[in-house]
Structure 1
Amino acid sequence: MSAPRGKRSAGLLLFRHTDRGLEVLLGHMGGPFFATKDAGAWTVPKGEYEPGEPAWEAARREFQEELGLPPPDGEAIELGEVRQTNGKIVTAWAVEADLDPATVDPGTFRMEWPPRSGQLQEFPELDRVEWCGLDRARNVIVKAQAAFLDRLAEHST
Structure 2
Amino acid sequence: RAEIRKPGLAERMASGEMRPDFGPPALHPSAGAVLVSARPPLIAFNVELEVADLALAKQVAAAIREPGLPGVRAIGLLLPERSRAQVSTNIHDFTRTSPAAVLEAVRARAAVAGAELVGLAPRAAFEGFPPAVPLRGLRTIEDSLASER
TM-score interval, smaller chain? under 0.3
Q: Which has the higher contact order (CA 8 A, sep 6+)?
A: 1
TM-score normalised by length of structure 1:
0.26
TM-score normalised by length of structure 2:
0.27
Q: Choose between structure 1 and 2: higher helix proportion.
A: 2
Larger radius of gyration: 2
Q: Choose between structure 1 and 2: higher strand proportion.
A: 1
